[in-house]
A and B are shown apart, each in its own frame.
Chain A
Amino acid sequence: MRHLVEVQGRLGEFEARGAQVIAVGQGTGAEAAAAARRHRITYPVLGDPGHQGYRTLGLGRTGWWGLTFAPFFEDLRGSFENLRRADLKASASPRSDVRRLGGALAIDAAGRIRFLHRSQSTTDVPKTDLLLEALR
């Protein structure tokens, strides 16, 4: 969710390019909307409870090492920040695959993919600058 909060802070840059931002999560639409409210995200957050979108885009799954210890070594500060922000009761969705990795894409108005990032680890977050660049 750190990435969503970062994008929220730069929403004006997306809007200046005439682009819209949409986030997708593994839960229901209601769970997605609740997460958006919790993190004060003003752009739409949609649900993908069956993970069809994740599979179609080829977004990967991390191993148990990648889920547990590796993030602490790769991104100590980020890991503690995640723990600080965590609202485990609210965030747990029975539909979530905890090993699923995220990603991002930019799609132009003709429906062509202009940017595609598949996260390789839990700390590998798509770079907002590259996403913006693809939307020029």
Chain B
Amino acid sequence: MTELAVGDAAPDLILLDAEERPVALSSLWQRAPLALIFLRHFG
């Protein structure tokens, strides 16, 4: 599998909100440009 790079289409990840409801990443970026930060942990 080719590694994602700048300029590629972003993957439409499914994440969970506070009520454990699925949130599609595409539903967020369609609203406005998105800065997405992946944490190591919740410390």
Interface residues of chain A, those whose CB is within 8 Å of chain B, are: 1, 3-4, 7, 14, 17-35, 44, 46-49, 52-54, 56-59, 82, 85-88, 90-91, 93, 96, 98, 100-109, 111-116, 119, 122, 126, 131-132, 135
Contacts and interface: CB of A to CB of B under 8 A. Distances in A.
Interface in B11-31: 11-21, 23, 25-26, 28-31
Nearest to B30: A109
Q: Dominant SS at the A interface?
A: mixed
B37 A113 contact: no
Q: Dominant SS at the B interface?
A: loop
Contacts, number: 173
A45 B18 CA distance: 8
Contact of A102 (B3, B20, B29, B38): B38
